[in-house]
Structure 1
Amino acid sequence: MAKDQGTIEPNFHLKVSLSIIYFLGTWPPRASKYRILYLLYTVCSFIFLLGILLTAEIANVFANWGDMSKILAFATILMTNFIHASKVFILLSRQKRIQALLDLANSSAFSRYDKKHQDLLIKYTWKGLFHHATYQSFGAIAVFCWGITPITDLIAGRSRQLPMEGWYPYNVTRTPVFEITAAHQGIAIIIACFHNVALDTLMTGLITVACCQLAILERNIMSIDNEKNLQNDNNLSFLAEEKILSYLQLKRCAIFTMEIQNIFSTIIFFQLLSNCMIICLIAFNVTQMKVYIPAVLIGLVTYMCCMTYQIFIFCWHGNELHLHSLRIVTAAYSCNWFSATKGFTHSLQIMMIRSHRPFTLIAGNIMILSLDTFVQILRMSYSIFTVLQGSTI
């Protein structure tokens, strides 16, 4: 497809997420003589970004066992890194299935590289990029504030403190181990933030593709026979062909959505559950601060916004998918069905009956991804926060 000035490549949002994942070592090439070398890079990247931090944080839990106030202070980062590591495992273990989804999303049967649907393809691609940029902005501000904590402490004359708490088998306050450890933590959390956002936007980006295809299907059904005269036998064949293509497109969208749920539903469920805890713990930690350091406070607030937005993008995309599938019924009724043959109207009824069972994404077979779920999670988080607050009074 020749791209006009000002347009963007369809599904470019998936390409952005996948490029970040690839360069950070968690998307091995399927068939390449360098695959073994890349897997070694994967191991080194995982150890640098998450392995060392997770080990130090888990060791810190045992070192402070019994002191709940200290454990609650760093539990948010521990849960974030643990879920992040789980996503990496899901990505690597199910790479073939995810690649199959990406191949279908970029196939001619799914993308439809023609000017008729170019506006929809570009619209949904920009939606994916918007969510990626917004989500990344919250995360980048938070991790940047944490990463420069040692520098702000030095300028303010405060005691040395690492960006994140953890137990290390050496004295981290001495030079040069403090500088090395602080530099590792600062660099690791910044890079890990970009990687974690890319993993999430890859999942939501695939849902955006499904929404786009449903929008294309809706337009196609509504435009059936708009440019054709139904009294002609050739045009009746055209109607039959359009009906078959529409049903196949609906079927492909259903299979695509089901596979997204089968691959990602469990990890999305644990992500939503952990974020519910993280949000209330961040709010609790902020209320327990005795000295408000600007960089730390801004980092915590933007981190809470980032976790909230992380819940929102999953629930919003699930809600959009549900609404798009419901609109297929209205689109089928809006076409010129009353002038078509009985065979065509019968087939259209079958499609409408199928569309009455709208597409839904269920996280862990428990939570339906919708805006109602988003509100319920925030309410649950606030309830836990009030319980924690009451226990300290």
Structure 2
Amino acid sequence: MKKNKTFDYTQLMAHTIKIYKFLGFWRPDPDMKHKNLYHCYTAFWLSLSLIFISSQVIYMYNSRKSLKEVLAALYITLTFVSILARQLTTYQSMNELKEIIKDLNRPLFQVKCQKHYEIADKTTRNQRLLYNICLFLGLSTDIFAAIFPLLANEKVILAKAWFPYDWTKPFNYFMTYIFQNAVLIWHTLVCYSGDMSTFTLLLHIGIQCDILCYTLNHLDDFYFKDGMLHEITPRDKLEFRKDMEKFSQAMAKNLVVCVRHHREIIKFAKDIQRIKEVDIFILFASRALILCTCLFQLSMVQFGSVESMMLLFFSMCMLTEQFVFCWFGSDIIYKGSLILQAAYNTPWTDCNNRFRKILLQFMTQACCPLNIPVGGLFVMSLPIFISVLQTAYSFLTLLHSIQ
């Protein structure tokens, strides 16, 4: 018999947890040292964020008679408000999120053979690529946002806002420039960490579906011991096949473990939905309006300028974020559907009626689609991404017609 390897799934969240702690959004444990100081650090950044948003709201109110001026500030305001609201909902359920992270390495989720390990390892490498792409887009937007005011023909600031002082004076301008860019970078990292935590959890569902499908497709490559499955050697596999009754009993035990694994996957998906549902709903509810206002602003500036590049990268960030969420949703639906097909590929023709009855019950359970509902209104999937784009285009057309 072969000894199973182990895979540390918590490493998938290690990068995100570090950023959470740096931003001040990792809820401290009761025994954490300097907990009060950490709370002050969190309150400091929240205060800066609220000051930034308030200054833009006041500016839009004062400029309410000019649609162009309102829209010039609206896309940043909506983005920051949605990011902050999403992160606060995550912070509220941070203790539950910590429990889910701890349960990533639960026994049923562990790899049971070399192929399982390769599936988890390959997905981890793909995750790092996704992280790097998202971070590149976010930081590129911040870089162009920082350069834009410096290269402008006249003295301008990153985001149009109201200030209780004359920001055009050299020292005031310098402090305003530092303030706005610091808050922008902070919000970028907040959005990045929140999205990556959700992506990682959704990615984990896909990993477990792949592992379960492989186990079902190769059910006779495993044996049951101490409540778990272990990879079997070719020699022991031949021994099992010699006695068909013994083989049927072994396969029935293996199948029961797969049934439990499937139920754990469903439970894990529901836990993610419960914790992240409001977060994801705010994302979907706000992105269409943010996209259309950003694209409207892009159409108003000279193409090829630094400001246009900033707006272009900003739009790409919004589109990529929305697309990845929807892609993961469709990926979970697709991989969940493969479980039913994999269940049919078990060696049921060589097993007794007890195995077939368990298999029938399992296949009936697997018929229910695995998905991530959002707000009880729709299921996260690629068709929803198309709907968001269509809505954003409709809003953009309306704004141009009003102008």
Q: Does TM, normalized by the shorter one, top 0.5?
A: yes
Distance in 2, Cα, partners of 1:323 & 1:149: 43
Structure 2 counterparts to residues 173-192 of structure 1, below 5 A: 173-192=168-187
Q: How does 1:1-393 map to 2 (within 5 A)?
A: 10=9, 12-34=11-33, 35-48=35-48, 50-112=49-111, 115-153=114-152, 158-226=153-221, 227=237, 228-229=240-241, 231-289=243-301, 291-292=302-303, 294-392=305-403
Distance 2:257 2:271 in 1: 21
Does structure 1 retain, via aligned residues, the 8 Å contact 2:167–2:173?
yes
**Maintained 8 Å contact 1:221/1:331:** yes
Offset of 1:10 from its aligned partner? 4.0
Quote how far apart the aligned CAs of 1:204 are.
Answer: 1.5
| Equivalences, count | 381
Tell me which moved more, 216-225 or 25-34. 25-34
Please, which moves more after superposition, 235-244 or 78-87? Answer: 235-244
Distance across 2 between alignment mates of 1:119 and 1:342: 34
Instruction: Return the TM-score normalized by structure 2.
Output: 0.89
* Larger displacement relative to structure 2 (57-66 or 365-374): 57-66
- Matched residue SS, 2:170: coil
Stretch moving more, 268-277 or 206-215: 268-277
CA distance in 1, matches of 2:22, 2:276: 22
Percent identity for Structure 1 against Structure 2: 19
CA contact (8 A) 2:213 2:338 kept: yes
TM-score by length of 1: 0.91
SS at match of 1:225: helix
Q: CA deviation at 1:28?
A: 2.2
Whether the 8 Å contact between 1:150 and 1:162 is mirrored in structure 2 is: yes
Equivalents in 2 of 1:285, 1:221: separation in Å? 53
**2:401 and 2:16 mapped to 1: Cα distance?**
42
Letter in structure 1 aligned against 2:36: I
Q: Which runs of 5+ in 1 are unaligned?
A: none
| Conserved 8 A contact 1:10-1:125 | no
What code does the residue aligned with 1:45 have? W
- State the 1:252 CA deviation: 0.6
- Distance in 2 between residues matched to 1:72 and 1:370, nearest whole Å: 30
Q: 1:308 to 1:33 in 2, by over 3 A?
A: closer
Deviations 1:245-302 (A, max 9, x none): 111111111011011111212221221221111111122112223x456211100011
Write the letter of the residue equivalent to 1:387. Answer: L
1:230–1:236 Cα contact (<8 Å) kept:
no
Cα offset, 1:213, TM superposition: 0.5
Whole-Å separation in 1 of the counterparts to 2:220 and 2:105:
28
Cα deviations across residues 318-343 of structure 1 (Å, max 9, x unaligned)?
11111111000100001111111211
CA distance in 2, matches of 1:80, 1:136: 17
Superposed displacement of residue 303, structure 1: 0.5
Tell me how far 1:114 sits from its aligned partner. 5.6
Contact preservation (8 Å) 1:13, 1:205: yes
Aligned amino acid, residue 286 of structure 2: S
> Which stretches in structure 2 are left out of the alignment for 5+ residues?
222-236
What is the alpha-carbon distance in structure 2 between the residues aligned to residue 311 and residue 101 of structure 1?
A: 24
Alpha-carbon RMSD across the aligned residues, in angstroms, is 2.1
Further displaced range: 251-260 or 123-132: 123-132
